[in-house]
């Protein structure tokens, strides 16, 4: 793309977000709820980027690159404030109108730990010098003329042991979006934002039932997010999608490596392929190829949310359930309530992908004790004292299985943990093995 076209697209991008800040948010709603999501919840990013061992009571410096109307910045700032951290969230965006919404939301919450900056990710080193412990960049790179250049700029201000939470569009779940974008460029390639929105509404009204966007149940911003959502989905001046291999290549080109996709189960086809032969063949593929297989198989991923660390960082950044003093932390999931409702299985629906996990007596006993305070050791002790289990190795195997399910669904993460679980049986009196269903 030529420099002139880059400038034209950048100008159109600014006009879009000045006219239609996205996503649409009302600062008055901050009194009712905190919007949370992936990536960037503290428990989640701690699990995937710091092996669960980051102490957020210590200063933690965050950059939200492309902050929009403030969802990530507000969530991070509020969670850091709740943790008693002296950390700072630096918000960076091209749109002053979007920043005004984010500022109003921060004011409504009384948050004083956000610094608002204006400018492009390409100039981040001069606008917001690092190092940052964590960088959030969601819904931005796929709108840049040179996404790898943008990601390299962010890598340059990231601390050596830090990490990023990223989101880029995925192609299969956005089936039909690019068809309608092309239609709209044919009938009205330019013009004022309001006139283009009016034309888009006319086009949506005449789409036949055979149109691929009409038949796609996975995208709905044009119907649920007002004119801002419609413009962002169908009228964007620059928009591309990435397959799993393309996302991995983007990260690699910027000196980064993907450490996890969210939700992990969506990228683990072995957990929901019913055919043992196919599952065994997929199990032999490298991890990124297994993730790519899952994307092709499910066909419903409209975005890839992932965590990435510097390629030069040799550490295994993902927490594992092999430390007895690690604490399972439920997020957006009431483990005790799930145990009370227990009916033999945990069932979920991931955009039409229906999964069912059989759970057993010891699973329900573990769920009732997952309160975000008790360690794995403490959960074992409580179940053993009640006679629910008498063998530590049996418990560890059961816990690893249950944690794999819950973490795969993005329900539970790990915090802390330095002491390895002993690899030995530890019988206790009064127990007779795992509890029955």
Instruction: Find the Cα–Cα–Cα–Cα dihedral 67, 239, 151, 296, rounded to 10°.
Output: 110
% of the chain surpassing 70 pLDDT: 94
Report the pLDDT value the prediction gives residue 98, as an integer from 0 to 100. Answer: 97
Report the pLDDT value the prediction gives residue 350, as an integer from 0 to 100. Answer: 94
Phi-psi region of 51 (alpha: psi -120 to 50; beta: other; left: phi over 0): left
% of the chain surpassing 90 pLDDT: 84
Is the per-residue pLDDT at 378 higher than 80? yes
Report the pLDDT value the prediction gives residue 336, as an integer from 0 to 100. Answer: 87
Q: Give the tens place of pLDDT for each residue, 206-264.
A: 999 999 999 999 999 999 999 999 999 999 988 999 999 999 999 999 999 999 999 99
268 closest CA partner among 259, 279, 252, 258: 279
CATH topology of domain 3-169+242-310: Rossmann fold (3.40.50)
Q: Do 99 and 116 meet the contact criterion of CB atoms below 8 Å apart?
A: yes
418: its two tokens: 């330095």
Q: Give the tens place of pLDDT for each residue, 50-91.
A: 999 999 989 999 999 999 999 999 999 999 999 998 899 999
Is the per-residue pLDDT at 427 higher than 50? no
pLDDT band at 92 (very low <50, low <70, confident <90, very high): very high
pLDDT band at 9 (very low <50, low <70, confident <90, very high): low
Report the pLDDT value the prediction gives residue 285, as an integer from 0 to 100. Answer: 96
Is the per-residue pLDDT at 434 higher than 70? no
Query: What is the average pLDDT value for the chain, to the nearest integer?
Result: 92
pLDDT band at 11 (very low <50, low <70, confident <90, very high): confident
What is the C-alpha separation between 21 and 200, in angstroms, rounded?
18
Report the pLDDT value the prediction gives residue 234, as an integer from 0 to 100. Answer: 97
Report the pLDDT value the prediction gives residue 433, as an integer from 0 to 100. Answer: 31
Q: Give the tens place of pLDDT for each residue, 272-287.
A: 898 999 999 999 999 9
Angle at the Cα of 54 (from 166 to 412), degrees rounded to 5? 65
Report the pLDDT value the prediction gives residue 231, as an integer from 0 to 100. Answer: 96
Q: Do 236 and 14 meet the contact criterion of CB atoms below 8 Å apart?
A: no
The domain limits of the chain are 3-169+242-310, 173-234, 327-415
């Amino acid at each position: 793309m030529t420099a002139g076209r880059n400038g034209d697209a950048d100008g159109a991008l600014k006009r879009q977000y000045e006219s239609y800040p996205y996503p649409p948010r009302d600062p008055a709603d901050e009194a009712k709820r905190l919007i949370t999501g992936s990536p960037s919840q503290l428990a989640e990013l701690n699990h995937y980027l710091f092996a669960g061992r980051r102490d957020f009571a210590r200063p933690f410096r965050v950059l939200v690159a492309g902050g929009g109307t403030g969802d990530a910045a507000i969530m991070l700032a509020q969670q850091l404030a709740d943790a008693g951290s002296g950390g700072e969230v630096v918000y960076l965006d091209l749109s002053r109108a979007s920043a005004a919404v984010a500022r109003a939301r921060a004011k409504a919450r009384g948050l004083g730990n956000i610094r608002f900056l204006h400018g492009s990710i390409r100039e981040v080193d001069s606008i917001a010098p690092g190092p940052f412990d964590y960088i959030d960049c969601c819904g931005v790179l796929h709108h840049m003329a040179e996404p790898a250049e943008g990601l390299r700029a962010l890598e340059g201000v990231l601390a050596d042991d830090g990490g990023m939470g990223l989101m880029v569009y995925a192609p299969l779940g956005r089936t039909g979006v690019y068809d309608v974008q092309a239609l709209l460029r044919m009938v009205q390639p330019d013009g004022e934002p309001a006139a283009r929105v009016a034309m888009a509404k006319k086009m949506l009204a005449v789409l036949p039932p055979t149109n691929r966007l009409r038949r796609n149940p996975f995208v709905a911003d044009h119907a649920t997010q007002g004119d801002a959502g419609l413009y962002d989905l169908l009228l964007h001046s620059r928009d591309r999608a990435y397959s799993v291999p393309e996302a991995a290549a983007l990260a690699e080109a910027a000196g980064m490596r993907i450490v996890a996709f969210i939700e992990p189960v969506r990228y683990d086809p072995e957990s929901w392929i019913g055919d043992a032969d196919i599952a065994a063949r997929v199990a032999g593929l490298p991890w990124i190829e297994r993730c790519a297989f899952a994307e092709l198989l499910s066909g419903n991923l409209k975005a890839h949310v992932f965590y990435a660390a510097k390629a030069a960082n040799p550490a295994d950044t993902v927490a594992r359930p092999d430390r007895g003093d690690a604490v399972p932390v439920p997020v957006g999931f009431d483990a005790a309530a799930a145990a009370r409702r227990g009916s033999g299985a945990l069932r979920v629906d991931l955009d039409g992908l229906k999964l069912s996990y059989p759970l057993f007596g010891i699973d329900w006993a573990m769920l009732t004790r997952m309160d975000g305070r008790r360690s794995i050791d403490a959960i074992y002790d409580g179940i053993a004292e009640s006679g629910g289990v008498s063998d530590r190795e049996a418990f560890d195997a059961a816990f690893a299985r249950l944690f794999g399910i819950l973490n795969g669904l993005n329900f539970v993460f790990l915090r802390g943990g330095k002491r390895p679980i002993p690899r030995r049986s530890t019988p206790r009196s009064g127990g007779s093995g795992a509890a029955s269903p």
